[in-house]
Structure 1
Amino acid sequence: MKVILSKDVKDVGKVGDLVNVSEGFARNFLFPRKLAAEATEKRVKEWEHLKRVADVKKKKAVAERQAVLAKINGTTVTFKVAAGENDKLFGTVTTADISKELDKVGHSVDRRDIHLEEPIKVLGQHKAVVRMGEGLEAKIMIAVERA
């Protein structure tokens, strides 16, 4: 029996998958728990349509992310912070700080997309990578100067 999953089911599939399961499993487990719906002709057509719409949206989102990363790639973000002896900072420069600075320049990037090799705790030039999923990434430089 073919069913369309409404929720993730372990060892069966993920939400929106069209899967073939035994009738007993569908009637006794999936349907009562509202984990799936029977794949009627109408539902299958609706599922295919929704899948096509989702693919178009995904391609558009990936194109937008590529455009943002192309603008950001090679950008240098400068911070003026207080530092003590041996060029050690009082605190650190975090991904949230980098995100705010990129926002000021006009590039909206979530802090969770910014990845640092190591925490920034000293003055100087540092590298960061902005990863937006699916192999899309851009390298940026962080310049930390004494205030």
Structure 2
Amino acid sequence: MKLIMTHEVTGLGAPGDVVEVRDGYGRNYLLPRGLAVKWTRGGQKQVDQIKRARQARDIRGLDEAKEIAEQLGGMNVRLTQRAGHGGRLFGSVTSSKVAEAVKEAGGPEIDKRRVEIRNPIKSVGEHQVTVRLHPEVSATVSLEVVGS
């Protein structure tokens, strides 16, 4: 099945990429979640529009991505969340909250879609979060979650 990616899926493609996937994966996962649309000849206009939007918000180059990765690598970000007894959070930490916390800590503005949280953060303490800045560059941010 040939699809046009509308959102980034790790290991598959970025918005605007035309990918070939198995029918079941496309029909049961990518299409219902809005991560991709079916490829058509007329879909090339969509591809061009998505790529223009992606270029506008992407970090311009590898050098800039490396600079930002250095900034993020040295940062300690503190995030305050409501927590119950034993340090368990009400809800979990989302990628948008991490992006806001980085900005508030004096770091660069990052897109929430670039933040990868491998395991859900549901407790107070130190956690590591990965930020994909460029296909070749990613940074690890130390996140300290504090209960309120």
TM normalised by structure 2 equals 0.56
Matched, 1:114 2:115: yes
Unaligned runs of 5+ in 2: 1-16, 20-41, 45-57
How many pairs were matched up?
96
Residue 71 of structure 2 is matched in structure 1 by: 71
Counterpart residue number, 1:26 = none
The answer to whether the 8 A contact 1:74-1:138 is kept is no
CA distance in 2, matches of 1:126, 1:95: 13
Deviation at 1:133, TM superposition (A): 2.7
Question: Contact (CA 8 Å) 1:130, 1:137: kept in 2 or not?
Answer: yes
For 1:31-110, what aligned pairs fall within 5 Å after superposition? 61-104=61-104, 105-110=106-111
2-structure distance, mates of 1:115, 1:109:
12
What stretches of structure 1 move > 2 A for 4+ residues in a row? none
TM-score (norm 1): 0.56
Q: Does the aligned pair in 1 maintain the 2:129–2:143 contact within 8 Å?
A: yes
1:47-91 Cα distance to aligned partner (Å, 9 max, x none): xxxxxxxxxxx9x62211111111111311111222112211011
Provide the identity percentage: 26
Corresponding residue for 2:139?
A: 138
Q: Quick one: distance in 2 between partners of 1:117 and 1:63?
A: 26
**Cα root mean square deviation, aligned:** 2.9
Kindly name which structure, 1 or 2, has the bigger radius of gyration based on alpha carbons: 1
Q: Structure 1, unaligned stretches of length 5 or more? A: 1-7, 11-32, 36-57
CA spacing shift, 1:64–1:122, aligned 2, 3 Å? same
Q: Deviations over 1:94-119 (max 9, x none)?
A: 11001011122131111111111211
